[in-house]
Amino acid sequence: MVDRLDGLVPEMMLLALAVVVAVLGLSKASSIRRMVPLLTAGGLFVAAWLAWGGKDLPPESAGFLAPSLAASLRSMIAGVGGVLALVASGTVDRRLEHDVESGRMPFEPLRASRGEFYAFMLLSITGAMLVASASDLIWLFLALELTSLPTYVMVVMGRAGRRGAEASVKYFFLGAMATAMFLYGFALVYGGTGSMQLADIAEIVASRRNLEGLDMVTTAGFLLALLGVGYKLAAAPLHLYAMDVYEGASASVTAFLGFVPKAAGTIAFMVLLQTAGGESLPAMVVTLIWMLAVLTMSLGNMAALQQTNAKRLFGGSSIAHSGYLLIGLLAGPGEGWAATTFYLLVYGLMNTGVFAVLAALERRGSEVEQVSDLGALRHRHPALGWSLVACSGSLMGFPPLLGFVAKVWLFLAAVQSGHIALVVIAAINSAAGAWYYLRMMGMPLLGAEPSEPVEAAPSPWPARAAMAIGVLLLVVPFFADDLMVQTREAAAAAVMVLGS
């Protein structure tokens, strides 16, 4: 057991930090309260660095996924999580802080929820990181739940009033249904193989497939589990909630929902696929993911095409990107998962970038969310306008932005694994997506100024995060090779573990 704890130092640190943050958020001194988001982000960046060091862990300290792959995934989640914490600064308790500052009322800890918000954020990120270390079905289930449960609360906290509550309830009930689904799938897998340990299950599955073929119970278990986990990815057919929830939550929480649960879902997919056969998956599993990928990207893009609400539009876009991620997952461990990991990181940055732009703007204290509100953004907020252009262009996969590099790699990996039809469908989808991304690129540059101007939100951090991401998307493509080589090496280890 001690060996396993060695591999979980960053997660334990984040759990401790969650407690600290929850307490500090109630401090009477406003300077300490204001530090909470920065402290959270700092902690996450440190955790990312620590997790990266986990690459060289001995296998007995790691979960079922190869230590190097798990380390890069965990490190990525914590890193992007740090940016998400910065984007969320200023989201919670905005009115309360305003009242306190103007002296209208004293600070009342009972009314403050900032500390809790960041504590929940840390818990959810920790959950996503733990998915990568899962070694048995119970661990996998608990880690996925730890990722999801805090997010239901964050949706309400991030936006006071009816819309936040509505979004949260929707998200919760559908999430509970998806949980039931994959839990049932886990139970069937256990029933079919008689083990909870992923390594044992993988062995049993492999030997059975060599002899008499995989039994129906286990196969059904895998299919149900994958479908249920697909909810975290917002993969079709469980994608319908995404746009409603994204619209209802505040922009910074939407950014969070667009990345952390999705990352957890992607990693859970890797764990389950590795268990089900890794490079040579059962035909039914391949068919299922193939169909999920096609449906997810097509439905996501179609849903985004006609949106006038920027959050719904990028909600649709994030569904479509889940479809692309599924292509990478299907391409198999090794090149496919290396490309998926890289794509997930890049997607996390671009998606966070667009919502950071939205979080950095307001009009009379409430959020800006119509596409038309972003018209001529670069005149009043040049940096934000250009960041939005860079992020949208990168989401479109426009060369030479980072999203293009990630997409090319993903396509290459998919072609390499023989999924040529899937790549052609993805290419057509990318072209369809260009329609609305182009609108989001044109709006801040050429659109008409909205009738009532938008202003900068009080916290400078979302804007700073958006600008930093915009610059990264433009610059990193020219220096991404090291990162890609390391990702590839990390994922190559996954294949080796499997072979042994």
Partner 1 sequence: MSPLLLILIPLLSAVSVAFAPRGVAFRVATISTLVTLAVSLIIASDFGHWYDDGFGLVTELSWLPSIGASFDMHADAPAMWLVLLSTVLMPVCVIGSKTAIKERVREYYAWLLVLEAAMLGVFLAKNLLFFYVAFEFTLVPMYFLIAGWGGSNRASASIKFFLYTFTGSMLTLAGLAYVAWRFADASGGWSFDIPALTAFASVDLSATEQFWVMMAMLAGFAVKVPLFPVHTWLPLAHTEAPTAGSVVLAGVLLKLGTYGLFRFVLPMTPVGVVEAVPAIGALATIGVVYGALICWVQEDVKKLVAYSSVSHLGFCVLGLFALNPSGLQGSILYMINHGLSTGALFLLIGMVYERYHTRDMNRLGGLVANMPIWSAFMVFFVLSSLAVPGLNGFVSEFLCLIGAFSATPDNAQWPGLLGPWYAVFAGTGMILAAMYLLYLTGRLVWGPYRAPPADKNSGLPTDLSSREIGLLLPLALMCVWLGVQPSGLMRTLEPSVERTLAAYPELVPTQVESMAVLEEVNGG
Residues that bind partner 1 (CB under 8 A): 393, 398-400, 404-405, 408-409, 411-412, 415-416, 420, 423-424, 426-428, 430-432, 434-435, 438, 442, 445-446, 477-478, 480-481, 484-485, 488
Minimum CB distance to partner 1, residue 499 (Å): 19
120 versus 404: smaller Cβ distance to partner 1: 404
117 versus 342: smaller Cβ distance to partner 1: 342
Residue 159's Cβ-count burial label (10 Å; 0-12, 13-18, 19+) is: buried
Tell me the C-alpha to C-alpha distance, in Å, between residue 161 and each of 164, 308, 340, 370.
6, 22, 37, 19
What amino acid is encoded at 73 in this protein?
A: L
Minimum CB distance to partner 1, residue 339 (Å): 9
55 versus 232: smaller Cβ distance to partner 1: 55
Q: How many Å apart are CA 70 and CA 271, to the nearest integer? A: 10
Residue 223 CA neighbour count, 13 Å, CB half: 16
16 versus 424: smaller Cβ distance to partner 1: 424
For 212-237, give the DSSP string: T---HHHHHHHHHHHHHHHHHHT-TT
Q: How many Å apart are CA 80 and CA 37, to the nearest integer? A: 14
Q: How many Å apart are CA 385 and CA 441, to the nearest integer? A: 9
For 15-50, give the DSSP string: HHHHHHHHHHTT-S-HHHHHHHHHHHHHHHHHHHHH
Q: How many Å apart are CA 193 and CA 203, to the nearest integer? A: 10
Q: What does DSSP say about strands 366-367 and 455-456: parallel, antiparallel, or unpaired?
A: unpaired
173 versus 478: smaller Cβ distance to partner 1: 478
Minimum CB distance to partner 1, residue 312 (Å): 20
Minimum CB distance to partner 1, residue 408 (Å): 6
- Looking at residue 366, what DSSP letter applies? E
Q: Which of 342, 350, 351 is closest to 406 using CA atoms? A: 342
Minimum CB distance to partner 1, residue 490 (Å): 13
230 versus 477: smaller Cβ distance to partner 1: 477
The Cα angle at residue 327 between residues 285 and 358, in degrees rounded to 5: 125
221 versus 333: smaller Cβ distance to partner 1: 333
Tally the residues of the chain.
Answer: 500
327 versus 359: smaller Cβ distance to partner 1: 327
Tell me the C-alpha to C-alpha distance, in Å, between residue 37 and each of 102, 356, 368.
22, 15, 22
Distance of CA 82 to the CA centre of its chain: 13
Minimum CB distance to partner 1, residue 383 (Å): 14
Coil, helix or strand at residue 293: helix
Contact criterion met (CB below 8 Å) for 269 and 182: no
Minimum CB distance to partner 1, residue 335 (Å): 10
Minimum CB distance to partner 1, residue 333 (Å): 17
What amino acid is encoded at 387 in this protein?
A: S
Q: What is the three-state SS of 391-412?
A: HHHHHHCCCCCHHHHHHHHHHH
Minimum CB distance to partner 1, residue 432 (Å): 8
415 versus 468: smaller Cβ distance to partner 1: 415
Tally of CB atoms within 10 A around 411: 24
231 versus 386: smaller Cβ distance to partner 1: 386
Minimum CB distance to partner 1, residue 258 (Å): 24
